[in-house]
């Protein structure tokens, strides 16, 4: 993304100690119920930059790079995403927050909301993944990603990733390409270290906090079907369809993302 940066004006970058490592985080400051943002697996926390101007004027916004992504070091031992999220909340002294996660980040906030529901004021899910959903992964896609990675063909891997996850972009899609290419370090460095969470799909009915799920209609058919099924299982979940979005809604429809998050805050009791 041309002009991508790692912090926002007036924000404070911090290093958060997690189990056996550390992660980079950014805190906008401010008062009131905080908003914590978790990025997708095809980007780092810079993916939130298009929506930050519309959020940091209203909320205290905290975002961080998962291990191996962006400015966070690669993991050196076993860890879980939920464990790291818990450490981030503890570091900033947050007993309760609105959690918004995109894709991989969505999967993480679901897992955390199931384990620590009292700490989640509301849940925002942007094109989320979820553990335990059958046939979410495409065997052909996984095999092709593995083939390109083993061959060291990063250009081929980038092209495949953009065709699959960023189909709504106009070529050359420099913004998405930079984020996706930089995310490869996270893909490879976390392999064998990140520990699997318990399957969550069959437990979605346990989520009782306000929830919204944003679905990109140009996302992969498998994920669209998964997101529809997820929204149907979460009690009171608001489903928002975004025709112009693929797997990167903050790049494709930032205004819609901000409105969705504002609406989520309005539902918090």
Q: What is the pLDDT of residues 101-130, one digit of tens each?
A: 999 999 999 999 999 999 999 999 999 999
- Tens digits of residue pLDDT in 72-97: 999 999 999 999 999 999 999 999 99
Residue 7: strand, helix, or coil = coil
Supply the pTM of this predicted model. Answer: 0.94
* Residue 262 pLDDT exceeds 50: yes
CATH superfamily, with its number, for domain 12-266: Alpha/Beta hydrolase fold, catalytic domain (3.40.50.1820)
Distance of alpha carbon 268 from alpha carbon 264, whole angstroms: 7
What are the structural domain ranges in the chain? Answer: 12-266
* Three-state secondary structure call for residue 93: coil
CA-CA distance, 22 to 77, in Å (whole number)?
Answer: 12
Sheet holding 12-18, edge to edge: 12-18, 21-27, 61-64, 35-38, 97-102, 120-126, 211-216, 238-242
| HSE value, Cβ hemisphere, 13 Å, CA-based, for 172 | 6
| Range with lowest mean pLDDT among 7-11, 34-38, 50-54 | 7-11
3-class secondary structure, 136: coil
Residue 97 and residue 191 in contact, taking contact as beta carbons nearer than 8 Å: no
Confidence of residue 10 (pLDDT cuts 50, 70, 90): low
């Amino acid at each position: 993304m041309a002009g991508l940066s790692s912090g926002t004006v007036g924000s404070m970058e911090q290093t958060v100690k997690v189990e056996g490592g550390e992660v980079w985080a950014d805190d906008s400051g401010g008062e009131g119920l905080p908003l914590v943002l978790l990025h997708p697996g095809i980007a780092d926390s810079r993916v939130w930059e298009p929506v930050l101007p519309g959020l940091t004027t209203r909320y205290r916004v905290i975002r961080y790079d998962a291990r191996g992504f962006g400015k966070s070091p690669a993991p050196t031992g076993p860890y879980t995403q939920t464990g790291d999220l818990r450490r981030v909340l503890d570091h900033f002294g947050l007993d309760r927050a609105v959690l918004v996660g995109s894709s991989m980040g969505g999967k993480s906030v679901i897992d955390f909301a199931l384990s620590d529901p009292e700490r989640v004021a509301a849940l925002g899910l942007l094109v989320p993944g979820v553990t335990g959903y059958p046939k979410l992964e495409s065997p052909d896609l996984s095999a092709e990603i593995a083939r390109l990675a083993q061959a060291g063909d990063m250009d081929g891997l980038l092209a495949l990733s953009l065709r699959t996850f960023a189909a709504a972009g106009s070529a050359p899609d420099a913004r998405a390409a930079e984020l996706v290419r930089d995310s490869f370090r996270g893909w490879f460095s976390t392999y064998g270290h990140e520990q699997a969470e318990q399957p969550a799909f069959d437990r979605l009915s346990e989520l009782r906090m306000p929830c919204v799920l944003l679905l990109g209609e140009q996302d992969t058919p498998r994920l669209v079907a998964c997101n529809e099924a997820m929204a149907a299982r979460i009690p009171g979940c608001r489903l928002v369809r975004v025709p112009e979005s693929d797997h990167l809604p903050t790049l494709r429809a930032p205004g819609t993302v901000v409105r969705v998050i504002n609406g989520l805050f309005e539902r918090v009791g």
